[in-house]
Amino acid sequence: MQHLYDTHGPAVEPVFLVIRGDQYGSSDCTFDKFHKFPTTIGWTLNDKYKLELHKSVSDPSFAESGLHELGPFLQAWLWFGLIYTVVQDDKGPLLRYDELVKARGKQVTTEKLNGQLQRWRESVHKQAETHPDLARIRIIRIELVLQVARRVILKNCGKETLVDDILALSLMVLGETLTSTKASIMETEDLDIPGWHGEDADEGWGPSRAVHEKMEKEGWCPRTLHILRGQLKGHATLMYCAYLAYRESGQMAEHNTKRCTKDECKVKSELMGTNEYKTKHLSRPPHNHHECNMQGPDMAKIVDILANSEETGEIPLLTLTMPEGESGAIEIRVKNCNPKDRNAPIYATISHVWADGWGNEKLNKLNVCQLRFIFTMLQNATKLSSRLDDHGNLLKTTIPFWMDTLVIPVKSDDVTTGIRLHQRLSRENPQEVLSRLKKEAISQIHSVFTASEFTIVIDNDLSAMYANDDRPCESAMRILASGWMKRLWTLQEAFLSQRLYVAFGDHGGTHQPVEDFDILIDESLKGDNGVVSSTRRHLSESLMNADRSHRINQQRDPMAIQQPMDRLLTGYSLIANAWKAARWRVCGPLLGITNVLTRFL
């Protein structure tokens, strides 16, 4: 599995060689040889792709070969044999046996696979230019080989298998890599075959028992595992890459002490020994929790804006101004803004996970350490924004921003005082007014996120790790497996956002603390590598990125006219993709998905 080094570093598991020499044979590696190999050796493949031994183990040569055992046989056939049969040019296999073993013949290796996959591409490209029909026949025969291999692995390497878990994982990863590369070749060379429907390039060859047990052992949340299995469709490689992305980070350890289920993650920010919600301090030095108080906006001004929003169309926005030194109060100013006004100021939105402690059930306030973090992320994101070139005035004050914790009123003395000071509202029941103002603020979410310049994603696990510019797949898998990806609200916020910036940790000042999601998807994750393309597709689908891009383009060019059928197909596509992205985030039956579809439409 060393071909994963390019995307996830050298942390992959070693896979041991369990056969005695090159028992498949790298010469004369035809498609017929691949299909007949089980029978030749002494195995029968039944109509359900279950392998059954038909040759007697008492045969001395058969027993000595070791191929009477399922694990060694599968490694000979569906590892060495699959590579020899698929990764070829016009002269034969591109990898020799001695290039596929290392550690003095004790381990198998794919460290040269990526390079030879490129040569395989070039071979098909050359054939497609001169003999396109032969290239199509070649692809069909490769697809048949991969289909057989996948079905055999699914049937014989499941939960009850006697095959070594890491060996089974290596077979799945290899198969998924070859399948993804084959699909990419078909797309690049325009080798679509009429009437031929190959298996989905992103259909997994798993799930892998090895990866699942590793995740459980290291305290991964059952809810996260349930969502990932649904999103990744049994894709063993991506599940393994998600595990590698969080391995040794310690970010999943907290779930060991909770009783999470596949329907609910129980890890929430709570006061010790109670079920009471706790607004969480950031554990980043230098920081003294005892000296870190809470601050919030003037709720009387926010009450006034929300009370008149039905007539004015205005929303409340905030700015943060830092004091001269480390000590001193942060200045939080409230601004009114009509998002539909052409002269409306450019502003940002914050998308966060409530369970991480970025909410507040009693006050519209956050800890100073949290406000400082928001300030830093806003400044960093603003520097990346193409429409915000003048940063001279941003040294101490942020651009305006919106965050639910600070602007959606909660039951507090500050809000009650604001209601009583309001000339019109003071004559009404404060509790009824609060309920109405809260509903008004929540109803604004759609227009707030749609009109914002960018959205900053804050997830405690992500902000505790850094984004590796050299391995964008690692950053992508960290996002895909994050707590932020579990929520329905965050899916809606992401879909409505013009641009997404994900807050990562600062790695000694050498890495940008905010990752531009759109650059990650559109530029960093481009390439022919099978793992990269699969990661890109799954992350993009999980956040409805294609539909989001279409919505943004329509918003920027409102004069663009679609034909009625185009509008109809766009609507159907939105519903289908919203359902695909939302269904694994919903704990209960269809109600949650219905709510999401209603909000989107």
- Domain annotation covers residue 218: no
Summarised one tens digit per residue, pLDDT across range 373-388 is 999 999 988 888 755 5
- Domain annotation covers residue 518: no
- Domain annotation covers residue 282: no
State which of 206, 241, 270 marks the end of a domain. Answer: 206
Summarised one tens digit per residue, pLDDT across range 495-552 is 999 999 999 987 555 455 888 998 998 888 877 677 888 888 888 988 998 888 888 8
Average pLDDT over residues 278-294: 72
Residue 313: is it exposed, middle or buried by C-beta count within 10 angstroms (0-12/13-18/19+)?
middle
Summarised one tens digit per residue, pLDDT across range 399-424 is 999 999 999 999 999 999 999 988 78
pLDDT score recorded for residue 58: 73
- Domain annotation covers residue 211: no
Average pLDDT over residues 108-115: 94
| 192 and 302 belong to one structural domain | no
Cβ atoms within 10 Å, residue 5: 15
Q: What does DSSP assign to residue 48? A: T
Cβ atoms within 10 Å, residue 350: 22
Summarised one tens digit per residue, pLDDT across range 23-42 is 999 888 999 999 999 999 99
| 187 and 95 belong to one structural domain | yes
Average pLDDT over residues 250-275: 72
| 12 and 157 belong to one structural domain | yes
State which of 402, 432, 458 marks the end of a domain. Answer: 458
Average pLDDT over residues 103-132: 93
Summarised one tens digit per residue, pLDDT across range 119-129 is 999 999 999 99
What domain count does the chain have?
2
| 293 and 201 belong to one structural domain | no
Residue 391 has pLDDT above 50, yes or no: no
- 272: helix, coil or strand? coil
Which residues, in sequence order, are CB contacts of 303 under 8 Å at separation 6+? 409, 415, 418, 419, 422, 425, 437
Determine which of 50-54, 438-442, 467-471 has the lowest per-residue pLDDT on average: 467-471
Summarised one tens digit per residue, pLDDT across range 299-316 is 999 999 999 999 999 999
State which of 402, 434, 458 marks the end of a domain. Answer: 458
Backbone phi and psi for residue 148, each to the nearest 5 degrees, phi listed first: -60, -45
- Domain annotation covers residue 220: no
| 298 and 196 belong to one structural domain | no
Encoded tokens for 244:
């590698």
| 174 and 308 belong to one structural domain | no
pLDDT score recorded for residue 162: 83
How does DSSP assign 319-388, residue by residue?
A: EEE--SSSSSPPEEEEEEE-TTSTTPPP-EEEEE-GGGTT--SS-S-EEHHHHHHHHHHHHHHHHH-TT-
| 454 and 317 belong to one structural domain | yes
- Domain annotation covers residue 241: no
pLDDT band at 594 (very low <50, low <70, confident <90, very high): low
Cβ atoms within 10 Å, residue 396: 13
pLDDT score recorded for residue 8: 77
| 180 and 42 belong to one structural domain | yes
Place of tokens 């997994």: 204
Residue 193 has pLDDT above 80, yes or no: no
Average pLDDT over residues 118-147: 94
- Domain annotation covers residue 422: yes
Which residues, in sequence order, are CB contacts of 196 under 8 Å at separation 6+? 140, 143
Question: Could you tell me the residue range of the domain that residue 99 belongs to?
Answer: 2-206
Nearest to 232 by CA among 574, 575, 600, 580: 580
pTM over 0.95: no
- Domain annotation covers residue 159: yes
Backbone phi and psi for residue 68, each to the nearest 5 degrees, phi listed first: -80, -10
pLDDT score recorded for residue 12: 85
Contact 359, 270 (CB under 8 A): no
Backbone phi and psi for residue 136, each to the nearest 5 degrees, phi listed first: -65, -45
pLDDT score recorded for residue 158: 81
Summarised one tens digit per residue, pLDDT across range 549-584 is 888 887 777 555 566 656 656 777 888 888 888 877
| 193 and 332 belong to one structural domain | no
| 176 and 297 belong to one structural domain | no
| 75 and 169 belong to one structural domain | yes
Average pLDDT over residues 451-462: 93
Q: 234: phi > 0 → left, psi -120 to 50 → alpha, else beta; which?
A: left
* SS3 labels along 492-548: HHHHHCCCEEEECECCCCCCCCEEEHHHHHHHHCCCCCHHHHHHHHHHHHHCCHHHH
Query: Which whole-number Å values give the CA distances from 83 to 330, 376, 382, 515, 564, in the listed order?
Result: 61, 49, 48, 36, 49
| 294 and 188 belong to one structural domain | no
Contact 184, 124 (CB under 8 A): no
Task: Tell me what the pLDDT averaged over the chain comes to.
Answer: 85
